[in-house]
């Protein structure tokens, strides 16, 4: 939803963590334009390291371009586009090193484990889960913050940076 980009960029951040090929279908661009929101789509695409297809789906505008984009092989971003607090980043790296190879990306799995995600726990042994819990407690003791809040803060800080660089109000920046 182009008219409510901040909320949807949070999901985009989580998808980028999964290190999967990604195309963004940016719908409701007409509503965003009516609200005076100008999105520099090419610049936003570069910042997010994935193609963005503007749509007005209700009028079938952009659907041909989206179908065409789906036929083009995509590259996968290997690093996160945003930094975490050094303490959190160290914990993520430590946890990633202890995890055996999985069918899911290690960065995503480590991040989700530190967020306390129950589904991520299904991918690890009891010992790995206990180790992740000990890292969570260690970070909380050192920072005085919940780890999931630190991760969310890093995502929202990145989103605000993206919005400042690629969104203009009325002036068409």
Q: Cα separation of 79 and 77, whole Å?
A: 6
The answer on pLDDT for 171 being more than 50 is no
pLDDT digits (tens, 9 = 90+) for 67-121: 999 998 887 766 666 778 888 999 999 998 988 887 788 888 999 999 999 999 9
Q: Cα separation of 71 and 47, whole Å?
A: 22
- Return the pLDDT at 169: 56
Instruction: Supply φ then ψ for residue 125, to 5 degrees.
Output: -75, 170
What the block records as the tokens of 150 is 């630190």
Instruction: Supply φ then ψ for residue 164, to 5 degrees.
Output: -60, -35
Give the closest residue to 79 by CA, choosing from 89, 87, 69.
89
| pTM score | 0.82
- Convert 120-154 to b/e letters by CB count within 10 Å (16 or more is b): bbebbeeebeebbeebbeebeeeeeeebeebbeeb
Select the more confidently predicted residue: 82 or 124.
124
Average pLDDT, the chain: 88
């Amino acid at each position: 939803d182009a008219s409510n980009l901040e909320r949807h960029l949070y999901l985009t951040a989580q998808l980028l963590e999964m290190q999967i090929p990604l195309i963004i279908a940016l719908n409701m661009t007409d509503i965003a334009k009516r609200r005076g929101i100008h999105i520099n789509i090419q610049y936003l695409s570069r910042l997010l390291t994935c193609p963005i297809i503007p749509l007005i789906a209700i009028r079938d505008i952009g659907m041909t371009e989206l179908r065409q984009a789906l036929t083009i092989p995509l590259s996968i971003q290997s690093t996160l586009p945003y930094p975490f607090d050094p303490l959190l980043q160290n914990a993520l790296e430590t946890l990633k090193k202890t995890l055996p190879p999985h069918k899911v990306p290690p960065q995503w799995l480590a991040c989700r484990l530190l967020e306390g995600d129950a589904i991520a726990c299904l991918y690890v042994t009891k010992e790995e889960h206990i180790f992740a819990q000990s890292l969570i407690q260690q970070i909380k003791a050192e920072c005085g913050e919940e780890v999931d809040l630190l991760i969310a803060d890093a995502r929202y800080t990145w989103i605000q940076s993206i919005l400042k660089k690629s969104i203009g109000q009325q002036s068409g920046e």
